[in-house]
Chain A
Amino acid sequence: MGQIVVSGLIFGCVYGLAALGLVLIFRTTGLVNFAHGEMAMVSSFVAFTLLSSSEFSYYGAFLAAIAFSALFGVVVFWVLIRHVSQASHLNQLVMTLGVFLAVHGAAGLIWGHTPTSFPRAVEGKPFSIAGVFITPNEIFVLVTTFILSMILFVLFRYTRVGLAMRASSQDLIAARLMGINVNAVFLVTWAAGSVLGGIAGLLTAPFTFLGVSMMFNVLIMAFAAAVLAGFVSLPGAVIGGLMIGIFGNLVSYYWAPEMALVCTFALIVIVLYIRPQGIFGEAQTMKKV
């Protein structure tokens, strides 16, 4: 039981990080990014390509991949998303679906469809804490998630950039009139969101093998976590991710691995039926009729 909860917690960290990126982008720009997982997948492949060229150490490749995901996010925003920022939500959603399909197809052409193994961040034998076995790599995942969510929380709450992000999410026009460069804020948001996704991808790859479809499941679970968080709460996204990770792991152990997804979404529907704004969301008031 304890073992299942702990390994669920590890998956939950990855879901939480991916969800954090989704929520960050949604909160600030009002767009749900379906291509989040696929962009992260590309970053993991970039790290893999750098590693196999053997000029890079693991951490060098890790940092380069993070830089790449920031750049990727910025490019996707500037070239594509910026132009639909005034379009309807449906058009925005289908735009990111299009990016999802295009990136998925392109990655398949470049890196092939055979999954390969990806090195862990920290090698080492599992050791036992209070009867629960845990590997150093899993501790690395936990610590990374904790540090990243703290950094993001501080950034969002206490810095000028964070203030600008919150202002832009509240009222775009007012933010502009107050002298905020909204486009720059959105760029930073997309960069930060993609970095969070990219790190989630780099952490996922050792568990699931590196493949073009590896992030799909993570994306779905991140969506579930984001919905649980009401799509607006940053700490909620991490907590939602952890909850979903543990819940899914319990279901797959005590029932069937395939039912984890079904039960997770049954849970989501029940939660949404009781609280349509999610657990951590606030009741929405209609701004415009």
Chain B
Amino acid sequence: MKRIFFDRRLYVSLLVVLLLTFPFLMGQSSYFMGLVVTMAIYAIAAMSLNLLTGYGGQVSIGQGGFLMMGTYSTGIISSTLGFPIWVALPAAGVIAALVSLVIGLPAVRLKGHFLAVATLGFGLCIPEIALNWKSVTGGYSGLPLMRPEWASSDLAFFYVILVLTFLVTWMLMNIANSRLGRAFLAIRDSEIAAAATGINVAGYKTIMFMISAFFTGLAGGLYAYWVQYISPNDFTIMASFFLLAMIVVGGLASIWGAILGAVLFTGIPHFSDAYVGVTNLVIGVAVVLVILFRPAGLVSLVGLIKPGEKQRSRKKPTEELPVRSLEEADNA
């Protein structure tokens, strides 16, 4: 009985079935499909960020910039240049990855707070550039975008996004559990030790940035196709803040944590949007409470996590022991 109860495959298949039947459970309501689509898009972006931040230890406060790169690249390639969706979506990812190379090159040399501020600048600048480069981006008026004919209805495109989200989740899980993922963890825990064991730290950091930007750009492209309109207000710096909060609240270095965070943070505005500003207050308080009482993220509450993953996401004990024992001595 216990084994069935804790079998993660059971929950995953239940989740998949629920998502596949979701439009019919909700009477094909566009609003609720949109909510799930937004969750899926943020989930992809949060998982990519978690690969960078949770596994690799590189803080980025500019992921919203890559989402926006994705929306605009898709819009320009598909709408202005007239390429089909199967070109536009991967191209959006590739463009985001190439741009991440530009921001990633100095970032490889930066650590901690410098990296955070540099990426913050990136996240702030992309919306400004989108607003001001009017000949390409349309400025305030944005860009229109048409879905392909075979997926023009909301229902059909809902399934396109769902299938792609499953695919990306599967790919990111594999990356996280591969040689790459292990190298990222080694770099996070100690760059010097990683370099000493023969890991090319700069190279892997660049790859990390590129993979993360690729999938985030892809997510942005999917969002553009879903709303069929690209606006400079979609992914502002707030989106970057929320993405970072999602992975910390959900759980660092955990794919499920990122998904949980994305679902939670996209779900809260659904309930709190009745008053302006309440959303920020609720999310802010939630973030503070989780960090105070569940520093390893909400995923540490759930039995879904594998024992191996739990061990990995644990903090390094070495740095804290002496101070903690001193504090205890104070209290004694």
Contact = CB atoms under 8 A, between A and B. Distances in A.
A89 B252 CA distance: 13
Contact of A286 (B120, B192, B323): B192
Interface in A98-117: 98-106, 108-109, 113
Given A173-B326, A265-B125, A105 B284 contact: yes
Interface stretch (B30-38, B218-226, B274-282): B274-282
A272 interface: yes
Contacts of B288: 80, 95, 98-99, 102
17 contacts: A90-B53, A94-B291, A98-B285, A99-B288, A101-B284, A102-B287, A102-B288, A103-B284, A105-B278, A173-B322, A224-B117, A258-B131, A259-B128, A262-B129, A268-B118, A272-B110, A273-B109
A94 B248 contact: yes
Nearest to A286: B192
Interface in A40-97: 80, 83-84, 86-91, 93-95, 97
Contacts of A91: 248, 291, 295
Interface in B295-332: 295, 315, 318-320, 322-324, 326
Contacts of A94: 244-245, 248-249, 287, 291
Contacts of A269: 103, 106, 118, 121
Given A106-B281, A262-B129, A223 B120 contact: yes
B116 interface: yes
A116 B54 CA distance: 42
A289 B122 CA distance: 29
A99 B284 contact: yes
Given A105-B278, A113-B276, A259-B128, A84 B117 contact: no
A264 to B, nearest CB: 8
A278 B125 CA distance: 20
B175 interface: no
B277 A98 contact: no
Given A95-B287, A272-B106, A276-B110, A86 B323 contact: yes
A109 B285 CA distance: 14
B17 to A, nearest CB: 33
Given A99-B288, A268-B118, A86 B320 contact: yes
A26 interface: yes
A157 interface: no
A134 interface: no
A288 interface: yes
A45 to B, nearest CB: 14
Contacts of A121: none
A245 B18 CA distance: 54
B114 A276 contact: yes
B118 A97 contact: no
B227 interface: no
A108 B124 contact: no
Given A88-B315, A101-B241, A224-B121, A108 B287 contact: no
Contacts of A84: 291-292, 295
A105 B109 contact: no
Nearest to B126: A262
B182 to A, nearest CB: 19
Nearest to A97: B241
Interface in A157-183: 172-173, 176
A87 B291 contact: yes
B151 to A, nearest CB: 36
B124 A173 contact: no
A190 interface: no
A37 B277 CA distance: 17
A105 B282 contact: yes
A109 B278 contact: yes
A97 B245 contact: yes
Contacts of B161: none
A4 to B, nearest CB: 20
Contact of A272 (B118, B120, B132): B118
Nearest to B132: A258
Given A84-B292, A88-B315, A289 B121 contact: no
Interface string B90-113: 000000000000010110011111
A220 interface: yes
A113 B277 contact: yes
Given A91-B295, A104-B280, A108-B277, A278 B285 contact: no
Interface in A265-282: 265-266, 268-269, 272-273, 276-278
A139 interface: no
Given A80-B292, A101-B281, A272-B118, 4 more contacts: A94-B244, A97-B241, A102-B285, A113-B276
Contacts of B113: 26, 32, 89, 93, 227, 231
Given A95-B287, A98-B285, A172 B114 contact: no
Given A86-B320, A102-B281, A276-B109, A97 B244 contact: yes
Interface in A195-247: 212, 220, 223-224, 226-227, 231
A95 B284 contact: no
A256 interface: yes
A100 B242 CA distance: 12
B316 to A, nearest CB: 9
Contacts of A95: 287-288, 291-292
A105 B280 contact: yes
Nearest to B289: A98
